[in-house]
Amino acid sequence: MKLLYRMAAKKTRSKKLALIELTGNKVLVRSQSELDRLFQKGFGERKGRELVLDLNEALFLLERERLKIEKAGKAVSARQLLLLAEKLEPHFYKKFVVYCDFREKGFVIKTGFKFGFDFRVYPRGKKPGEAHSQFVVDVKTQNEKLSMPQLSRMVRLSQNLHTVCLQAVVDSENEINYYSLARLVL
């Protein structure tokens, strides 16, 4: 497994970073100033007085030195978080590559598990609650195969959600090809 492709290009930031707590497969932000700052940028989900980040969001922010994460009082590195995420979720790194690609292009991207996809993506510059999902994304590696019933299900689900279905295929060099899937009506 390659180490994160962006870690070599780290820049040191001088501002003080809030410490965030890792619990299971979620990261909890309790600092009100950090909570507000991250939520305004489309990260996490508010749960009372906490902001809950999924592992993609947490690793993205940790890798870019936007926060520090602790577990049981010890700092968690990006590599440690990646290894934990790989244990909890199959093909996490490939999904993370797609997550980063959308985030870097200015999209807010959230998990799409309850919709039957890996991700749901909001229009550029919009957050959940401000706009409806623009895309639903299923991530596969170049060696994975999809059956026709799987493709049909994805297209049907995306049409029911009024979104565009994207199939993201990540190759062995972490390059991503996106394919839009739709039903043609003749």
Based on the domain organization, do 40 and 111 belong to the same domain? no
**pLDDT digit string, tens, across residues 125-140:** 888 888 999 999 999 9
Helix H or strand E encompassing 38: helix 32-40
Considering the domain boundaries, does residue 2 fall inside one? no
Based on the domain organization, do 34 and 22 belong to the same domain? yes
Based on the domain organization, do 43 and 116 belong to the same domain? no
DSSP 74-143: EEE-HHHHHHHHHHHSTTHHHHHHHHHHHHHTT-EEEE-GGGTSSEEEEPTT--BTTB---EEEEEEETT
Q: Does residue 20 contact residue 58 with C-beta atoms inside 8 Å?
A: yes
**pLDDT digit string, tens, across residues 28-85:** 998 888 888 899 899 999 998 899 999 999 999 999 988 888 888 889 999 999 999 9
CATH of the domain at 168: 3.40.1350.10
Distance of CA 94 to the CA centre of its chain: 10
Based on the domain organization, do 114 and 44 belong to the same domain? no
Domain count, the chain: 2
Residue 78: phi and psi, rounded to 5, are: -60, -40
Residue 113 has pLDDT above 60, yes or no: yes
Give residue 17's pLDDT band: very low, low, confident or very high (50, 70, 90). low
Based on the domain organization, do 103 and 58 belong to the same domain? no
**pLDDT digit string, tens, across residues 142-183:** 999 999 999 999 999 999 999 999 999 999 999 999 999 998
Q: Does residue 140 contact residue 170 with C-beta atoms inside 8 Å?
A: yes
Based on the domain organization, do 96 and 155 belong to the same domain? yes
Considering the domain boundaries, does residue 1 fall inside one? no
Query: Pick from 87, 102, 127: which residue ends a domain?
Result: 87
Considering the domain boundaries, does residue 125 fall inside one? yes
Query: Pick from 24, 54, 87: which residue ends a domain?
Result: 87
- Rounded Cα–Cα distance for residues 66 and 11 (Å): 11
| Enclosing domain of residue 45 | 7-87
CA neighbor of 24 nearest in space, from 1, 58, 49, 48: 58
